[in-house]
Structure 1
């Protein structure tokens, strides 16, 4: 009995040890096991996704107020005595501030249109306020308008994509150096060319945003004082002078219009006179020709002679009424 109980205890202990030492499907590999090779970096790296895709980009933190990138554009109109000289002063102001002039247009004064100048200015964003104050001092500032656009999220997204593409290009270059198979070499070169083209395009966009953020764009219009609003009369004498000037201007405009139209009127009158003389001459020739032409004999023979009706003789035995009356 004791032997049977001891044998059963030994058998149970053996089964327990066997179960504890049996391999399990969920046991992690030990350090002695060979590492699993990673997937190749081409083509469609990281599980077939394109390099620089949204799944590869790190999460972007919310931008701080000091780190925001803002594009500022605006327009300004200033009334000056001499637009050409004021344009030179404006150019010096912007150049001294570290900016530049992208475009400059000047128009001379003509009748009905005063002299003017238009400039496209690129001003450093950090000195925009001081430059605007200096431009206002050139004359009488009429209209000043500024607008801002926050492009912080756009530029940060471009930076992340550029970083991912640069890393992808570096990996493809490393693969290109270590590849000996012709087919793989062609595929790597094709993918590398595509990635480099995308990288250059994004870098160009990033440079554009950087330029727009660092230099604000201001369109400056300089106009002569004659384009300002005319002064209105405020008393009797000023009203009288204004009316007299308007009357003189009206008759001056009428004389100018008459002087312009007079040569054309003379030309039209001469043409009408020539046409009238030609018509009258033709009518006279037709009248004379009709008076001189005789009637043809054949036409005269065909015209029946018209005879006057003969008087009827009174019947015999009757006397005239005059005698009967007697």
Structure 2
């Protein structure tokens, strides 16, 4: 066996050993990220992990109130440093002018540094009401303006129902950021190995590993960016409806009656029912009676004339 073959085998073994070492390092990094995320979940205020592709991960946001007052469903306005919290709310507001309320909600979001994420409007669904009768608007507003925007959305009508929620995603943000850091270090090591590789098969193997790790890195960066977007911008979905129609007046409950009064009442009702039936029958027969009366006179007149003629013939 030639010396060149031995050298090629040694290079291939060295490259494979380096790839295994890099993989183990990435695995250790992922394991440490899980440990860090667990520690972050238990800690009072862990610092966010920054990265070049996902943005800051330690955005401050208000936390959920421990004991809201009676008749309210509010969240605490004081931010908790180092926590990543996702806020969302849904509202239903009854208003006389759905079109104006929808335009006001959109203006309110934009004036507070947010935007309109979606809108769905309907018209003509309520009798005798022109224009929009229902509109659902999804607003994305900064978390700092979450309480302010919700408070102003209900000023133009009556809030029928309201639901708020707060989800702490600090552990996910820290875990994803740590995994990104470990993956970036792994990519850097493979890039260094490619610079020193001279065999074509080694270069191809390293390029495949580099492509796979870069794809994983982009996926994790997208996850972190989505989390940061949810933390920095809260979601408020508000539905505007026209006021409900006035309910018909309830039928008064009859007063207590004794047996005689109930019998008299039932008898009168039966008598009136019989009279109504007789009137209906008379109304049905009256046209036929009129027709019979009109035809009866000429028929009887003709019969009398015939009888007289027969009598004259006999005499």
User: Quick check: TM above 0.5?
Assistant: yes
Match of 1:84 among 92, 99, 105: 99
1: CA distance between counterparts of 2:105 and 2:30? 46
Query: Structure 1: how far apart are the matches of 2:20 and 2:198?
Result: 20
Displacement of 1:228: 5.7
* Alpha-carbon contact 1:76-1:145 (below 8 Å) kept: yes
User: Which residue of 211, 215, 218 maps to 2:233?
Assistant: 215
Offset, 1:109: 2.3
Equivalent runs, 1:1-326 vs 2, <5 Å? 42-45=18-21, 48=24, 50-51=26-27, 53-57=29-33, 59-60=35-36, 61=39, 62-64=43-45, 65-112=80-127, 115-225=133-243, 227=244, 230=247, 232=249
| Structure 2 residues without counterparts, runs of 5 or longer | 1-13, 46-79, 254-315
Residue 103 of structure 1, CA deviation: 0.7
Instruction: Provide the rounded CA distance (Å) in 2 between the counterparts of 1:217 and 1:154.
Output: 19
Structure 1 unaligned segments of length 5 or more: list them.
1-37, 237-326
| 1:195–1:77 CA distance, 2 compared to 1 (3 A) | same
Quote the offset at 1:101 in angstroms. Answer: 0.7
1:8: which partner in 2?
none
The Cα of 1:179 is off from its aligned counterpart by 1.5
CA distance in 2, matches of 1:75, 1:222: 11
TM (norm. structure 2) is: 0.57
For 1:122 and 1:112, locate their aligned partners in 2 and report how far apart those are by CA, in whole Å: 33
SS at match of 1:75: strand
Quick one: structure 1 residues 57 and 78, their matched pair in 2 at CA, closer, same or farther if it must change by over 3 Å? closer
SS of aligned partner of 1:44: helix
Question: How many angstroms does 1:74 deviate by?
Answer: 1.3
Go from structure 1 to structure 2 and tell me whether the alpha carbon gap of 1:187 and 1:127 turns closer, same or farther (over 3 Å shift).
same
**Counterpart-to-counterpart distance in 1, 2:230 and 2:168:** 11
1:69 deviates by 0.8
Deviations 1:180-233 (A, max 9, x none): 1112111111110111010000000001111111111111000001x2663756
Q: Equivalents in 1 of 2:26, 2:249: separation in Å?
A: 70
> CA 1:47–1:142 in 2, change beyond 3 Å: closer, same or farther?
closer
Matched residue pairs, number? Answer: 198
Q: How far apart are residue 57 of structure 1 and its match? A: 3.7
- Alpha-carbon distance between aligned partners in 1 of 2:108 and 2:187, rounded to the nearest angstrom: 45
Deviation of the 1:46 alpha carbon: 5.3
Helix, strand or coil for the counterpart of 2:124? coil
Q: Which moved more, 1:54-63 or 1:65-74?
A: 54-63
Which TM-score applies when normalising by structure 1? 0.55
The Cα offsets for residues 211-263 of structure 1, whole Å up to 9 and x where unpaired, read as 111111111000001x2663756999xxxxxxxxxxxxxxxxxxxxxxxxxxx
C-alpha spacing 1:63/1:167, structure 2 compared with 1 (3 Å): farther
**Rounded Cα–Cα distance in structure 1 between residues aligned with 2:231 and 2:17:** 36
Relative to 1, partners in 2 of residues 1:84 and 1:181: Cα closer, same or farther, differing over 3 Å? Answer: same
Q: Secondary structure, in 3 states, of the residue corresponding to 1:230?
A: coil
CA distance in 1, matches of 2:142, 2:17: 43
Quote the Cα distance in structure 2 between the aligned partners of 1:155 and 1:230.
51
Shift of 1:44: 2.8
